[in-house]
Amino acid sequence: MIIYGVYIVSKSGGLIFNLDNNVPRIEHEKTFTYPLDLVLDYDSKKVSVSFNRKDGINVGHVLVAVNGMPVNGVTLDDGRDVRTTLEAPENYPINLKFSRPKMTTNEKIFLASMFYPLFAIASQLSPEPKSSGIELLEADTFTLHCFQTLTGIKFIIISETGLNGVDLLLRKVYELYSDYVLKNPFYSLEMPIRCELFDNKLQELLAQVEKTGISNIDK
């Protein structure tokens, strides 16, 4: 049982909390000959694929290792410049490892703001009045579960496909939020949640769910 992440979206549509719990690191490794048939973009923080795709390596994937040596930004662990290394014919054949980039905080905030109008549209599309909006979205690699409180706060869990009873887990997360966030005298509504006790209790809950299953969370 895998829970990939937990998100809390305020009633105004802003991301106020997120936890990456068990996000898989997807890597692709391949040996290339000269000239390199991928077009790379070199910025100050990373080397990424900007054009072409090959054997699972797609646009946006980030270079993480060259011949087994980790890449830090645009340099190798031994201090060599990545671009200079990749442009030198004598270094080929060369083994490159690429990974899907980790989502940044700004990207998460943007996606949360996009989910808010989608939720509202789903409510309006319902043939029956007072629809609850989006409660479940299924894809081939993950499932999104959403629970909206009476005050409009949305609790979102991203999990592996085929899980049952996640609505119970969502309500348990809501209980933790009520006990450790709302009762915190230093917390202001609609603001980002920075509560160490809430973080710890949530991580304990997710660890218990992954070990014993959702049906045992109240035991």
* Predicted local distance difference test score (pLDDT) of residue 212: 85
Work out the pLDDT band at 60, boundaries 50, 70, 90. Answer: confident
* Predicted local distance difference test score (pLDDT) of residue 213: 82
Q: Is the pLDDT of residue 65 over 90?
A: yes
* Predicted local distance difference test score (pLDDT) of residue 74: 92
* Predicted local distance difference test score (pLDDT) of residue 22: 74
Distance CA 142, CA 176 (A): 24
Q: Is the pLDDT of residue 217 over 80?
A: no
Distance CA 133, CA 116 (A): 10
Cis preceding-peptide flag for 93 (omega within 30 of 0): yes
Q: Is the pLDDT of residue 89 over 90?
A: yes
Same fold, 3-23+104-216 and 27-99: no
Give residue for tokens 């662990």.
77
* Predicted local distance difference test score (pLDDT) of residue 172: 95
* Predicted local distance difference test score (pLDDT) of residue 188: 92
Distance CA 200, CA 198 (A): 5
* Predicted local distance difference test score (pLDDT) of residue 214: 82
* Predicted local distance difference test score (pLDDT) of residue 219: 57
201 versus 53: the higher-pLDDT residue is 201
Work out the pLDDT band at 218, boundaries 50, 70, 90. Answer: low
Q: Is the pLDDT of residue 216 over 80?
A: no
Q: Does domain 27-99 have CATH number 3.90.1200.10?
A: no
Q: Is the pLDDT of residue 215 over 80?
A: no
Work out the pLDDT band at 181, boundaries 50, 70, 90. Answer: very high
Work out the pLDDT band at 30, boundaries 50, 70, 90. Answer: very high
Query: What is the DSSP secondary-structure string of 36-90?
Result: PSSEEEE-SS-EEEEE--BTTB-TT-EEEEETTEEEETTEETTS-BHHHHHH-GG
Please report, rounded to a whole number, the percentage of residues in the chain having pLDDT higher than 90. Answer: 59
In this prediction the pTM is: 0.75
Considering the domain 3-23+104-216 in this protein, what is its CATH number?
A: 3.30.450.70
74 versus 213: the higher-pLDDT residue is 74
Q: How do the domains of the chain map onto residue ranges? A: 3-23+104-216, 27-99
